[in-house]
Amino acid sequence: MQNNFSDIIAIILLTLRVSGSALLISVIIGISLGFFVALREFPGRKILIGLINTGMGLPPVVVGLLVMIVLWRAGPLGFLEWIYSPIAMIIAQVILATPIIAGLTLATIQQVPQKMIWQAKALGASGWNLLWLLIRETRLSLLAAVMAGFGGIISEVGAVMMVGGNIRGETRVMTTAIVLEAQKGNINFALILGGILLVLSFSVNFGLTLIQQKVKKS
């Protein structure tokens, strides 16, 4: 890989596109799942909670292997031809981040005093009104869940490399590029990419932190 400015920009843009898409999908699914499990009683609820908690610590390489098997040309979804594509990378990251967001959301909602929920229902709050009330009450913790999910996505390398293939200009993102350059002995360039990744991660988390603190004061 030519270590030039255009390569770095391409890697950064692809990283933002893949990680941003994965984070958005994970937030939608994770927060929705966390609220659903926290507020409803149904058969198998404890098993589902156990699966969510287990999913918070899923080994990335195992996730990558399973996604690769499913998307492989001879696999169940091989006809989609998503293997070694940004879509496969997004799928792997969503599987890794969703349980983190769902688990933290579940824990957050379960900490809300039951009396407050009963009082809200007694005053006529239900459905979307009750949901919005809980979101407002727990918004700081929900933002923390989003930041945790982003951290799991932006730092992941094993699963992304397995399903993406680390193809230059197509599936090479910051983490896989760092691994590649380090293996090639280009330590200086790997450090540059690592520094950029840290700055990128800090910038996103700092932005979310500003939003979190602004919400706290409101």
Euclidean distance between CA atoms 37 and 35, whole angstroms: 6
Query: 93 is in which domain, residue-wise?
Result: 5-217
Euclidean distance between CA atoms 175 and 84, whole angstroms: 16
For 85, residues 6+ apart whose C-beta sits below 8 A from its C-beta are 164, 170, 171
What is the predicted pLDDT for the residue at 99? 97
What is the predicted pLDDT for the residue at 216? 65
Which pLDDT tens digits describe the chain residue by residue (218 residues)? 445 788 889 999 999 999 999 999 999 999 999 999 998 889 999 999 999 999 999 999 999 999 999 999 999 999 999 999 999 999 999 999 999 999 999 999 988 877 777 676 666 666 677 778 888 888 888 999 999 999 999 988 989 999 999 998 899 999 999 999 999 998 988 999 999 999 999 998 898 888 877 766 66
Number of domains forming the structure of the chain: 1
Q: What is the pTM of this model?
A: 0.90
What is the predicted pLDDT for the residue at 213? 78
In this predicted model, what pLDDT tens digit does every residue of 169-194 receive, in sequence order?
899 999 999 999 999 998 988 999 99
On the 0-12 / 13-18 / 19+ scale of CB atoms within 10 A, 184 is exposed
What is the predicted pLDDT for the residue at 174? 93
CATH number, residue 37: 1.10.3720.10
